[in-house]
Amino acid sequence: MSMTSLRGRDFLTWLDFTRDEIEAMLDTAHELKRRQIRREPHRILDGQTLFMLFYNASLRTRNSFEAGMTQLGGHAHFLQPGAVYTPALKGEEIAYKTERISDVARVLAEMGDAIAIRIYGKHTGWMYGKGHRIIREFAEWARIPVINMEDDMYHPCQALADVMTMQEKLGHNLQGKKFVMSWAYSGSVEKPLAVPQSAIISAAMMGMDVTLAHPEGLDLDPNVLQATKDLAKKNGGKFKILHDMNEAFKDADVVYPKAWTVQPTDGSGPMDPEKAKAIFEANKDWITTEEKMELTNDALYMHCLPADRGMEVTDEVIDGPNSVIIEEAGNRLHGQKGMMALIMG
């Protein structure tokens, strides 16, 4: 696939792309990482500007995009949370400190080369899907690529880093490897569904045998589950759902235990913190320990970070020999560079 064949595309969810297109991004990411290690210049986006609209704070996302754009020869503008008006969807009333998405998107498109957005949770009233609708509306109005830096449905940039890391550790061909996306306990219920949903989509696209594990009542979006099932079938993998963490971990090659909240995915209402808290507190035993890791096939331990130590995972595991969290975080830089090189190059 040529470097220009994806030029101008938005990057909102892996579901908008074929496996070949995602593979092209990953192949480019691996090559650019090798160039960076060798200190070979790769100013593919020389003089280009990326506008980053952060409605949620960030460590890994902000710094990986800023460093990535610098290494590619461009510049990333960081728009501080709270320093920009809240975007108003079509049909919503314009109030103090809101601005039409159509205006923001068209103005930024006059000045730069791509727009990246992160928005979910309290900034959308915990109404599932609203963050993704906001980013989709930006993409509708902007004549330049729009990148999803995480919304309430998907985190496609994290998925690039996840798959890239697994390819480095397990070999480029991940076909048939057992990937476990498991819920894990947290003291906070403010955990969006984006990471687990993008994780199972991406693993299924790569032909892995995907197991989703969670207590009763913590279901993901049924549309995402169906898409994952379809991708697994198309790419020669498997997909199943279990409600037992120990059973899920058996013979796993990769485990990815992370909290997500209880949330209606049909638009019927916002997250109910009290309901979520009750389910969370009833499942404190969903923690990744050395004993659980012994059930696996010497599995990689993955997490998008930040992790809730002592709740989601013990220090012995997250700081142990099977943990790849630092490489995974580092690959946010390289995965995003591969993606930006193709859609902006």
pLDDT at 2: 44
Q: What is the 3-state secondary structure (H, E, C) of 153-168?
A: CCCHHHHHHHHHHHHH
So what's the pLDDT on residue 207?
A: 98
Full set of structural domains in the chain with CATH: 14-154+332-344 (3.40.50.1370), 158-328 (3.40.50.1370)
Residue 277 token pair: 């808290």
From CA 224, how far away is CA 264, in angstroms rounded?
14
What is the sign of the dihedral through the CA atoms of 102, 107, 112 and 115?
A: negative
Would you state the structure tokens that stand for residue 101, as one six-digit string? 């998405």
In the predicted model, residues of the chain with pLDDT beneath 70 are 1-4
| Whole-angstrom distance, CA of residue 108 vs CA of residue 101 | 11
Give 273-318 pLDDT, tens digit per residue.
999 999 999 999 999 999 999 999 999 999 999 999 999 999 999 9
* Distance, CA of 109 to CA of 51 (rounded, Å): 9
How far is Cα 214 from Cα 254, in angstroms, rounded to an integer? 16
pLDDT digits (tens, 9 = 90+) for 98-122: 889 999 999 999 999 999 999 999 9
Neighbour-count burial of 219, counting CB atoms closer than 10 A to its CB (0-12 exposed, 13-18 middle, 19+ buried): middle
Residue 337: which of 1, 5, 2, 11 has the closest Cα? 11
Beta-bridged to residue 78, according to DSSP, are 52
Token pair belonging to 74: 């461009």
SS3 category, 173: coil
pTM of the complete model: 0.96
pLDDT for res 94: 82
Whole-number Å distance between alpha carbons of 52 and 58: 11
How far is 288 from 301, CA to CA, in rounded Å? 9
Closest CA to 65 of 105, 117, 6, 13: 117
DSSP element (H, E) containing 101:
helix 101-111
> Residue 252: its pLDDT value, please?
98
d(CA 252, CA 341): 33
